[in-house]
Chain A
């Protein structure tokens, strides 16, 4: 019995790093530190250290893969520079691009969420119904309940898919909207 307990405690840091790598590898979606900690029955700090170590290993190796933090979890993926060859193999093209209208609507929603349709209209100066539908269809935004105001309009916010597709760890990683102001002075 003592042996069993001992066995668990004697996991070396390099062993944990290897386990983390194995789990990140098999995970379909970005795997969170919490999940890793739960599965391995290690504490958060240990896992965080192991993830950092692993990330460093990938960087030092300068191979075809990278470990990155995205949408609140960790993921192993290919490096950007090899996308052409990978696309050739996968026979895929970059996803259909969003229209300018959809992108703008998405930007408004990302920065102003939760936001209602009339609020979007005010900023964009155009009706955005079809753009909102496109974004909902692409699962980039989701309905986030109703606003307790006249007419109880639906509010929208960005989804997890948004973080994934735009390569964001979380919403706080978006640059501040005020940073874009400087660019407008040049006009």
Chain B
């Protein structure tokens, strides 16, 4: 895509000269960050035209303004959006000024100059522009002043109070956290009923006899216990397995028939 030839575009804060940076052959870079907005552009144009801010030659300024906006639009559409509002305002003022003034009977009630709002806004903006210049000067001066470096104190560096024992305590805490994590992993391993059943069958077929108490003790969680109990019920129902209890309230043995 052909880019327009570099033209002066944005403003340098100090010299107030618009500039455009050509980075490489096909790349034009606008220093848009320095561009403060449509009011700035307008102020610049008024200054350049050596016009009176209280009597802006609106037609001329609008033309100039639109020229800039068109150029900018070809570079950065989102930025131009802000400027388009101002363009619309300028055109509106221009058209209002072309209309014949209504002749009012009341001399005191002069028809309001359509430019008045804009002028007020420009003046207000100019004030803050000057104020920001002042702030810039202040910060520049201030950056040439250095306070002393920071002093180590308990408040800004609590760690200086730590001893080897504190270190040890912290290490222990890390270790214990680690074990907790491992325990959690075990809990997460959940055995399904079918897995439990398979496991139980295998045990009984291998050993012929299985102590229920021992089998239940192997379980880690309540959930596993419940699953184990259900597996025992299932195996008793389906398979030829006998439940044997030698003494009252004693251990129950699962015996393969």
Contact = CB atoms under 8 A, between A and B. Distances in A.
B136 A103 contact: yes
Interface of A: 25-26, 28, 66, 68, 75-81, 83, 86, 90, 94-95, 97-101, 103-104, 106-108, 110-111, 122-127, 164-168, 175, 177-178, 180-181, 183-184, 187
Interface of B: 11, 13, 33-39, 43, 46-47, 52-53, 82, 86, 121, 123-132, 134-136, 138-148, 150-151, 153, 156
A28 B150 contact: yes
Contacts of A178: 127
B144 A76 contact: no
A164 B36 CA distance: 25
A77 B132 contact: no
Contacts of B35: 100-101
B37 A124 contact: yes
Nearest to A24: B148
A78 B146 contact: yes
B138 A168 contact: yes
A90 B145 CA distance: 12
A123 B125 contact: yes
B144 A181 contact: no
Contacts of B11: 100
A187 B46 contact: yes
| 7 residue pairs, one from A and one from B, having the closest CB atoms | A126-B37, A83-B144, A167-B142, A180-B130, A107-B132, A107-B131, A103-B132
A166 B126 contact: no
A177 B134 CA distance: 11
A67 B132 CA distance: 27
B150 to A, nearest CB: 6
